[in-house]
Structure 1
Amino acid sequence: MSQTIPTSLSVVPTRALVDETFKVVVENLPPASPVTLHALLYSEDKDYWEAYGHYVSDHRGTVSVAEDLSLGGTYTGKEAMGLLWSMRPEPGSRTGLRLRKREVTSPMLVHISVYSGHITEGFRKQSPLASVLTERWYMAPGVQRIEIKEKGVQGTFFIPPGPGPFPGLLDMWGGGGGLLEYRSALLASHGYASLALQYFSPGELQSADLQIQYFEVTFNIIKDHPQVIPDSIGIFGLSLGTVVAIYLVAVSTKITPRCCVCISGHHLYPLGTALNLNLKLEKKRLETEHYDENNYQISRDVRLPIPTDLSEKVDVRKIKCHMLLVNGDDDQNVPAVEAAEDITQMMRSGGNLQLLTTLTYPNTGHLIEPPYSPHFRATNFIIPTTKEKVISLWGGQPKPHSDAQEDSWRKILAYLHHHLYSSTTPKAKM
């Protein structure tokens, strides 16, 4: 009597950093057998996220996600990491969701399963042929997480493993407020002492009396840390974090980074205006913001056209550090590409254009995250000035946006290494 060999599923590695690839292989299938590869994640917000691809086994009864074509599903074609970057909320979930890791000391747990046939729904109600649990980490083993509450500064410092000292980074997120740690944890996993800074709380933009000294004190906390190389510090910003970063490096004489990485931002008004949003800008917002056919809010036009009056924008001609701008040409939240063009012209006229590098990605939106993060074209958002709840349109399309995240992250790490890193400094490994 012949014995049926059970279908096997392997995911290598099963434990990795979120920006590392894995290899998913199914074996012991009948030849030319249709199967569905499925990824399932239960978020910290208690929502199910999933991705899936349809495959047909080869003459050996094997499917390799990295080498074979997905014929349908949440992604198509040869996509080694499609089971992660194409994740979306399970049908019937709440609207406007965004997947973000809050507790970085634990991994994202992703169940990879293979099902018989090409199926599109009801995965959790069916029994898979095989399943593997994978761990996706932002924080590598040995990375130290240190809460910072000193001199009025609130944030979290992530220190790489090893004797150090390491290059330092000031990491600032955008206008949603709060403290987000996952990018800093990942940067520390790549050998950078990164401080994730909380510089206002949600809904406090109008009342927050934030001065440039707050950021100067923060920069000095990083600089004075014994595990940081004091003359090898950079700034990393996204959205409002980029607005703040550009302002700081153009205006402050006490903040002297080697380089800045600026994602999806602009230079169009001084820091005080950016953080407190004066009445003039608020009036323009109400006049120019509009909604698409899905009732998603489009905000980019608030800051268009780019002003010609120098008093309405940061004088980037004064910037003395290297700066990398990373933008998507379908950003529906801010006019990042138009701002980058103006920054280029201003820095050319100021004689410091050699400090500027710009990356612009097609069909890419505002939220350019680390690799293999799902694409969010529109998500729930609370406008800090009014506390109005909207679904904000960020822009981008899943496949090109995912490609942009992967390519830009690789180039960002290379850029940071070039400007900050010593060849003798140890790097964290998973």
Structure 2
Amino acid sequence: MSQAVPTVLSVDPARALVDETFRVAVQNLPPGSPVTLHSLHRSEDEDFWEAFGHYVSDSGGTVSLAEDLSFGGTYTGKEAMGLLWSMRPVPGSREGLRLRKRNVCSPQLVNISVHSGHVEEGFGERVPLASTLAERWYLGPGVRRVEIREKGVRGTLFIPPGPGPFPGLMDMWGGGGGLIEYRSALLASHGYAALALEYFGADELESANVEFNYFETAFNIVSEHPQVIPDRVGIFGLSLGAIVTQYLASESSVIKPRCCVCVSGIHLYPRDESLRTFYQMMISNAHKVQVDKHNREIWRGMMLPLPEDRSQKLDLGKINCPVLLVNGLDDQNWPTVECAEDVAHMMRAAGKEHLLTRVEYPGTGHLIEPPYSPHFRATMFKKIHTQEKAILLWGGQTKPHSDAQEDSWNRILAFLQQHLFSSQNPRAKM
């Protein structure tokens, strides 16, 4: 492409939180020129992720991702954030990758470039017309990161900037184990003192022996912190973390969460003092695991049909705080939608339906992350109950799953704003 003046590529803002939108624009192209916008990220695991879209410049020689259509690539249509949410491992990468931020004190760096023509591959061998770097942060300016190692509890507390006190959250991820900080850092960037709780190590089987008083102790560490409003502490859990959240909300006599957010969770768990029984249930139901034509494991059948015996599941009719359930209709890991319907029945029978909010998304899988995160339909997973590795099928299709991540995050933030910042809080009729 011959040009009299250099092509200009801009990203605004070039530095932003990961849940903020940006505007990508190209100027000084010849009118009607086919070009490809490409994004490239090198993960902390040294893997490369990319996305790209095909565009044609307008009569003024410009392309705007927010206003123009992509005619092909990893996404199509008018998608301002397509260069992020449609990212996938570059061809030839290892199987089953998942992109996760480990060091929240540094940004995700995304190189964005524009290339002549509609390119499908070989971006590394091509000289771009222009390129620029975008910084995507989970940790907002002024947020403090404080390691927690007290009373046997392990985690990281993120405290928003300012004098406080702030509403608090105990934040738990799922069965992959380890200390996952990035969602808590982002929540703190929105004004919540958020504890990223580690409740078992990534390479340990000790999770089976974690007793629920561990979580009660962790909750109290948050509520008793001098920069936390003690009666405005909620719980946020995904997958296994959502099971723990529902257990604490329904069974604990020690803590009283102000509200709970449960993403992709189930309530199939005998009321017990540790997670041991849950893992024994999974092992006994392992014969129900299915595999698809790519030999990826599908777990949702392990918990089906839902037991009629109430002793085999948590009694969510005992919950006395607002609860938000977020689920995908294509969850292939757990029967989350069936469980949500059962939870609604329990709460309705207990006269507590007013405390329940449900959102469900078509084409959406198990791993519902903060917005603009890539969609992971299947990834490598180390099964904590057997220590074996397998490719798990989580479900979802890229575009609807990504839309669900954006919409659900906005709903979650609105729910937390309503119940943790507001002086009014619905409780069950006692």
Q: TM-score, normalised by structure 2?
A: 0.96
Give the counterpart letter for 1:248 in structure 2: L
Structure 2: runs of 5+ lacking an equivalent: 424-430
Q: Which amino acid in 2 is paired with 1:236? A: F
Q: How far apart, in 2, do the equivalents of 1:83 and 1:72 lie?
A: 12
Q: CA RMSD in A?
A: 1.5
Structure 2 CA distance for aligned equivalents of residues 139 and 292 of structure 1: 38
- What residue is the counterpart of 1:174 in the other structure? 174
Deviation at 1:283, TM superposition (A): 4.5
Preserved CA contact (<8 Å) 1:244 1:271: no
Letter in 2 for 1:335: P
Residue 128 and residue 405 in structure 1: after superposition, are their counterparts in 2 closer, same or farther (change >3 A)?
same
Secondary structure (helix, strand or coil) at the match of 2:58 reads coil
Cα drift, residue 240 of structure 1: 0.2
**Residues 205 and 276 in structure 1, CA contact (< 8 A), matched pair in contact too:** no
Superposition deviation, residue 351 in structure 1: 1.0
Q: Distance in 1 between matches of 2:415 and 2:200?
A: 28
Partner letter of residue 88 of structure 1?
Answer: R
Q: Which amino acid aligns with 1:119?
A: V
Counterpart contact for 2:270–2:278, Cα < 8 Å: no
* Mapping for residues 137-216 of structure 1, pairs under 5 Å: 137-205=137-205, 208-216=208-216
**Which deviations, in whole Å up to 9, do the C-alpha atoms of 1:81-136 show, x marking residues without a partner?**
00000000000110100000000000000001000000011111111000010100
Q: Does the C-alpha gap of structure 1 residues 253 and 64 become closer, same or farther in structure 2, counting only changes over 3 Å?
A: same
- How much does 1:270 deviate? 3.1
Match of 2:427 in 1: none
Q: What letter matches 1:220 in structure 2? A: N
SS of residue in 1 equivalent to 2:260: strand
- One-letter amino acid of the counterpart of residue 64, structure 2: S
- Residue 276 of structure 1 deviates from its aligned partner by 2.1
Give the Å deviation of 1:266: 0.7
Q: Which amino acid aligns with 1:46?
A: E
1:308 matched residue in structure 2: 308
Query: Counterparts in 2 of 1:28-427, with a 5 A limit?
Result: 28-205=28-205, 208-270=208-270, 272=272, 275-277=275-277, 281-422=281-422
AA at the equivalent of 2:197: L
Query: What is the CA–CA distance in structure 2 between the aligned matches of 1:3 and 1:380, rounded to whole Å?
Result: 46
CA offsets per residue over residues 259-308 of structure 1, 9 Å max, x none? 00000001111364872256752444321001001110000000011111
Which residue type is aligned with residue 180 of structure 1?
A: I
Q: Which amino acid aligns with 2:396?
A: G
| Distance across 1 between alignment mates of 2:128 and 2:137 | 25
* Whole-Å separation in 1 of the counterparts to 2:270 and 2:101: 31
Q: CA deviation at 1:203?
A: 4.5
Which 4+ stretches in 1 moved above 6 angstroms? none
Aligned residue identity for 1:381 = F
Letter in 2 for 1:198: E
Amino acid at match of 2:70: S
- The answer (yes or no) to whether the contact 2:330–2:364 under 8 Å persists in 1 is yes
How many percent identity over aligned positions? Answer: 66
Instruction: Compare relative contact order (CA 8 Å, sep 6+) and give the higher one, 1 or 2.
Output: 1
Match of 1:427 in 2: none
Letter in 1 for 2:183: R
For residues 323-380 of structure 1, what are the alpha-carbon distances to aligned partners after superposition, in whole Å with 9 as ceiling and x for unaligned? 0000000000000000000000011111111100000000100000000000000000
Task: Pick which of 39-48 and 248-257 moved more.
Answer: 248-257
Cα deviation, residue 421, structure 1: 1.1
Looking at structure 2, the residues matched to 331 and 207 of structure 1 have their Cα atoms a distance apart, in angstroms, of 24
How far residue 387 of structure 1 moved from its aligned partner, in angstroms, is 1.2
Task: Give the Cα–Cα distance (whole angstroms) in 1 for the partners of residues 116 and 3 of structure 2.
Answer: 19
CA distance, structure 1, for counterparts of residue 273 and residue 72 of structure 2: 47
Which SS does the other structure have where 1:233 is aligned? strand
Instruction: Write the distance in 1 (CA, Å) between the matches of 2:84 and 2:17.
Output: 13
Report the Cα distance in structure 2 between the residues aligned to 1:272 and 1:50, rounded to whole angstroms.
45
Counterpart CA distance in 2 for 1:223 and 1:85 is 35
| C-alpha contact 1:247 1:270 (8 A) present in aligned 2 | no
What is the rounded CA distance, in whole Å, between the counterparts of 1:320 and 1:272 in structure 2? Answer: 20
C-alpha distance in 1 between matches for 2:256 and 2:74: 45
Instruction: Give the secondary structure class of the aligned counterpart of 2:275.
Output: helix
CA distance in 2 between counterparts of 1:324 and 1:280 reads 28
Q: Residue 253 of structure 1: CA displacement?
A: 1.3
What SS class does the counterpart of residue 26 from structure 1 fall into?
strand
Amino acid in the other structure paired with 1:102: R
Change (3 A) 1:18 1:278: closer
| Contact 2:380 2:390 (C-alpha < 8 Å) held by counterparts | yes
How many residues are paired up? 422
> Aligned AA for 1:262?
C
State how far apart, in whole Å, the 2-side matches of 1:281 and 1:227 are: 40
Q: Which residue of the partner structure matches residue 426 of structure 1?
A: none
Equivalents in 1 of 2:395, 2:321: separation in Å?
30
**Contact conserved, 1:9 with 1:130, CA < 8 A, in 2?**
yes
**Could you tell me whether the CA contact under 8 Å between 2:209 and 2:274 is conserved in 1?**
no
Deviations 1:366-416 (A, max 9, x none): 000000000000000011111111000000000000000000000100000
CA distance in 2, matches of 1:274, 1:86: 39
Specify the SS of the correspondent of 2:209: coil
CA distance in 1, matches of 2:341, 2:180: 29
